[in-house]
Each structure stands twice: as C-alpha cells, then as structure tokens.
Amino acid sequence: MYDNLPKGDANASRTGFRYLAEALKAGGVDHFFHMPLVLPEAVIDMQAVGVKPIVTHSEKAAAYMADGYARASGRIGVCAAQAIGQANLAAGMLDAYMAHVPILALTGSGDPTTRERNNYQEIDQRPIWSGLTKATMRVEEAIRFPDLMQQALRLATTGAQGPVHLELNSFTGGVLAGDTGGAALPDPRFSHYPAIRQGAPESDIAAALKAIAGASRPIVVAGSGIRTSGAGDTLRTFVRALRLPLATSLDAKAALPESDPLSVGVVGTYSRDCANKAVTEADLVIFVGTTTGSMVTASWTVPVPGVPAIQIDADPRELGRNYPLLAGLAGDPATVLAQLTKAASAQPDRSAWLGRITALRREWDDLVRADETSDAHPIRADRLCRSMSNVLPEDALVVVDTGHAGHWAARSIYLEHEGQDLLRPAGSLGWAYPAAMGAKCARPDRPVVCFTGDGGFLYHLPEMETAVRYGINTVTVVNNNNGLNQERPVWSDVAEFDHAWKFSPVSYADAARAFGHKAIRVEQAADIEPAIAEALAMNAPVIVEVITDQYVAADRAWKPA
C-alpha cells in the first residue's frame, strides 16, 4: 500500500531548507507566498526544484493568497514571514480557520541565545497562533523538522481541516540550515485534502434514507464543506437522482448550475428570497457540509427551529449543533453522498413540491428583473452583477468579498454552467483580491474574476504591484460606490457622520495604471459587459472600475413572519 511513498537516504545530506523545497514539490504544492526576509536559502532551493516563491507587500496578503490557492487547488497553501511579522501573518489565518482551509504557516522566531533578553523585534507570539490554528509547534533543531512538518500536514488536511503553524528558530528561520539526517519526505497524500475520506455507518445511511423517503417537501442545504470535500459532482448526482431541491451557502453557490430547475439559490443572510422561502416551507432539511451557523440560517430563522433535519459533516462535533436531527451522518460529504445515492430506493411523487420550487424561482426572476436590467445612472450594483454574469466564461472562477459584495453576489451573480465556481471568505473584508491572486496561481488555466467593493479593494491595494511583477492575470471588478454604503443605516444619513462611511473620490483605474495594470473605467450600464469581456481577453492583470450608486443597498434577507 505504501510502496510509492518517498524514501529517505540515510547517506544523503539534506538541509532543512532543501527538505522544505523538496517536500512541497513532492506534495504538488507549486507556490510559496511570503514576506521578506524569511527562509532565503529555502527560496533558492524552491526555485531550483520548480516551486514558485511569491513575495507580497504584507504578511496578511501572503496568508490570503495561500488561502485562495488552497481553496482553488485542493492542496495545502503555504505562507511564511520573519519573526516580527508573525502577528500579521497570524491575523490572516482567521478566515482559513473559520472556513476549515488547510494552510501551513512558517515563521522565524528567537532562539535559545536570545529569548527572554529583550532582543530586537523579539516577543513570544505563540499565544496568538494558538487561537487561530489547529496547532502551533516550535522547530528548535533541523533534525526535528521532518517529523514536525509531517505532523503539521497531517493535522491540516484531516478531520475538521484548518491552518497549522511551525515556528522556526532564528529570526529568518535559520535553524533549517542544519541537516535533516536523511529523513524521508512527508507522505504526499497529506499535502492534499481531504487526505482521508471516511464513510458513515450503514445504520445511519438507512435512517437518513427512511426520513427522506417519508418527506413530502425535502430540501438540501449545502455549505462550504462541499468544497473542502470536493463533493460537487457527488452532490449533483445525489440531488438529481432523488429529485431534491438544493439551496446553498454563498461559498457553495456553484454546487449546482443555477440554470438547473432544482437550484433555488443562496439561503440565509446573504440570499435570494426564493431560497429562504423554499427552505422555510420544507418539511425536511438535509444539511450537507454546513455548520448551520448564523449566515446560512439567517440567524437560525431559516429553516424554522424544530424542523425535521438530517446533517452530514466530516466533523462529528457539528452534528445537531443548532438543529435537532432525525439522522446525523459523520463522514466525508462526498463519500456519504455517494453512499446515500447508491442505497436509495425509488422516491415518492413530489411533483407538487417541485412545482412550488419552479414557482418560487419564477417569482424571484419577476421581482429582480427590473433592477438587474436597469439603465439607471449611477449604475445599480445588481445591474453590475447581472451583467458580469452574462459574460463570465463557462470555466470562470469568481472570487467575491464579504459585506455588500457578498450580499450582491448571492442575489445577482448567476453561475449557470457546471464549469463555473465561486470562492468567498468566511467573514474577512479585503480577502478577495489577494485570495483571487492565490487562486490564479493555483489555476493558471482558468479565468479568475474578483468581485469586490472599493472598501474591500483598499485593504490590499499595493498587491497590484505584485500581480504585475509576477504576471498574475486576474480580472478585478471594483464596485466603486465611493464608500461603505452597507454601513449607511448606522449613521442615519446625518451629515456630520458622513465621514464614517463616505470616501474621498478615488480613481481606482488611474491608481491601477500607476501600478502598471491594465484598467477600464465604466460609468454607463450598457458598457459593463463589453468592458469585462475586453478585460478577460487581455490576458493581463486588469482592474475594471464600475461607478455605482452609493445610495442603493441590497435588500435585507426575507425571513418568515
């Protein structure tokens, strides 16, 4: 079974720097995101073996690029910072930790000769990491690096996946100059996720299928666990075989093409009314790969508390956390869905329920058609999203921010082809632009389109230079409404508080050109589609700045009375 694993050579001399480079290469990890100056010797070795180091302008951007890389590739993301940058890099782990994305973070530190002596830029930062990772471990000798790296990879890519941290002795990680003693490279299976797939017991499969067969109005609610499991294909097979409507969280939006009659859209706080209504009317909710948190349930009002439910999750701790269950299935979602599909018998006639789903979809189309096709000036954000959807390539990967960008994306971005996909953060504004760059590094063969607002884009504006330097050819659509208009209601349109949400006028197209980017500025709705199509054809880093109405906000989520 293990014949193909890499072997160590007891007579080989391999420094920790070389070991790191070869371990990444062997695991299929081909990018390393970092701030200078950390592990310079390893960077040289990485380039020699075909792993591409990307130097960013902030530690947090490096973390977000590694995050986007991991989500787009199914491989672990790797990022690094010198000792003083630890806290900044750790801050970038928060989103990956909440979203269960495996990342290996490497940092420099002090060493036994400098600790507890007020050494310049030295402080113990491991307590910060302990709350933002699955594990934080210290490498004090190069001989320990192989086994600690293997542990870190194993922890990151199994169970409830997530980021891990290795703190390397010496400010820039110089401890890895030592020899690793001919240790074998890590098992490459643990550079991919999920590294181990477990099914559910047959008794739980039977209980779930019995509940599904007895329901008149069942619906599936899928979350981000579909992505971490790589369960898109098996989910589509499952819902189509059993004729089950599907609602999703925003980060699972592409699980089923929105042109499919079984798709009812994004449910929860960032949502479409049709999805929230369908889930509210269901008499059985099948949660798949979702933690049933506040966003996907509109603060636990959709579905209504007490609805009969089934839940599938890789982490047994999530089963029944917020909704009592008729059946809880602990296991890898892709594996469990395949089990359910294989064991399912003929389903009852649910034509009335599927007819209701069709009616809700049509009702939504009628509700939003006027706004999504509006020629209003300034441009409406929902018109921007609908127009962007119309020109997205069939294999597009869309990366969206949180806040209003996420809300508009849930409602008015339409992904109607099985080859399309979408990534979004668990809650960190400003994540999308660097994450899109990481995603493009992972999938250079795909068009990657970032959708963010001016508020989110301003977080990591300097990374435009990084994109140009490395030729990371994303198309970034900036919804420029000259402010944080999601926060406008907080200040009740009182002029003396305008500075709390309105920005000074900024031309992001001009800023992009100053960084060497291609840039297009759009002020008329009719120009959106041609501009985005032109940007996609440029095969270069492009900013498409769209001037939108700062007084148009996304409607609040529909909730049951």
Instruction: Provide the token pair at 266.
Output: 């994004």
Amino acid present at 537 = A
Show the CA angle centred on residue 189, arms to residues 185 and 191, nearest 5°.
75
* One domain, residues 183 and 251: no
* One domain, residues 266 and 349: yes
Q: Which one of 304, 327, 357 terminates a domain?
A: 357
* One domain, residues 209 and 186: no
Confidence of residue 53 (pLDDT cuts 50, 70, 90): very high
- The side-by-side arrangement of strands in the sheet containing 421-423 is 421-423, 397-400, 448-453, 475-480, 542-547, 518-522
65 is in which domain, residue-wise? 16-191
Q: Regarding beta strands 103-108 and 77-81, do their DSSP bridges make them parallel or antiparallel, or are they unpaired?
A: parallel
Q: Give residue 491's pLDDT.
A: 86
Residue 3 located in a structural domain: no
Model's pTM, two decimal places? 0.95
Tell me the per-residue pLDDT of 84-125, one tens digit each, with 9 for 90 and over: 999 999 999 999 999 999 999 999 998 888 888 888 888 888
Q: Which one of 126, 159, 191 terminates a domain?
A: 191
* One domain, residues 75 and 127: yes
Q: Rounded to whole angstroms, how far apart are CA atoms 267 and 248?
A: 6
Q: Rounded to whole angstroms, how far apart are CA atoms 64 and 96?
A: 8
Tell me the per-residue pLDDT of 508-547, one tens digit each, with 9 for 90 and over: 999 999 999 999 999 999 999 999 999 999 999 999 999 9
Domain of 272, CATH number, reads 3.40.50.1220
* One domain, residues 490 and 429: yes
> How many domains does the chain divide into?
3
* One domain, residues 217 and 187: no
Residue 220 has pLDDT above 50, yes or no: yes
Residue 344 located in a structural domain: yes
Q: Could you give the C-alpha distances from 106 to 16, 86, 165, 292, 396, in angstroms and in order?
A: 13, 9, 6, 32, 31
* Contact between 162 and 97 (Cβ < 8 Å): yes
**Cα-flanking dihedrals φ and ψ of residue 485, to 5°?**
-70, -10
Residue 1 located in a structural domain: no
Classify residue 394 by burial, with Cβ atoms within 10 Å: 0-12, 13-18, 19+: exposed
Q: What is the mean pLDDT of the chain?
A: 95
Residues in the chain: 561
Confidence of residue 390 (pLDDT cuts 50, 70, 90): very high
Classify residue 119 by burial, with Cβ atoms within 10 Å: 0-12, 13-18, 19+: middle
Tell me the per-residue pLDDT of 287-335, one tens digit each, with 9 for 90 and over: 999 999 999 999 999 999 999 999 999 999 999 999 999 999 999 999 9
How many C-beta atoms lie closer than 10 Å to residue 261's C-beta?
A: 12
Q: 493 versus 131: which is more confidently predicted?
A: 131
End-to-end CA distance of the chain: 57
| 37 preceded by a cis bond (ω within 30 of 0) | yes
* Contact between 494 and 468 (Cβ < 8 Å): no
- Give me the torsion for CA of 17, 19, 21, 23, rounded to 10°: -150
- Give me the torsion for CA of 28, 30, 35, 37, rounded to 10°: 90
**Cα-flanking dihedrals φ and ψ of residue 72, to 5°?**
-80, -25
* One domain, residues 450 and 537: yes
Residue 11 has pLDDT above 90, yes or no: no
Residue 66 located in a structural domain: yes
SS3 262: coil
Burial 491-522 (b: 16+ CB within 10 A, else e): eeeeeeeeeebbeeeeebbebbeebebbbbbb
Give me the residue label for tokens 């504006």.
461
Residue 480 located in a structural domain: yes
Domain of 62, CATH number, reads 3.40.50.970
* One domain, residues 343 and 380: no
- The side-by-side arrangement of strands in the sheet containing 103-108 is 52-55, 31-34, 77-81, 103-108, 164-168, 135-139
Give me the residue label for tokens 């500025």.
521
SS3 298: coil
Instruction: Provide the token pair at 245.
Output: 């409507």
* Contact between 377 and 524 (Cβ < 8 Å): yes
DSSP code for 516: T
Confidence of residue 354 (pLDDT cuts 50, 70, 90): very high
Instruction: Provide the token pair at 522.
Output: 């759009």
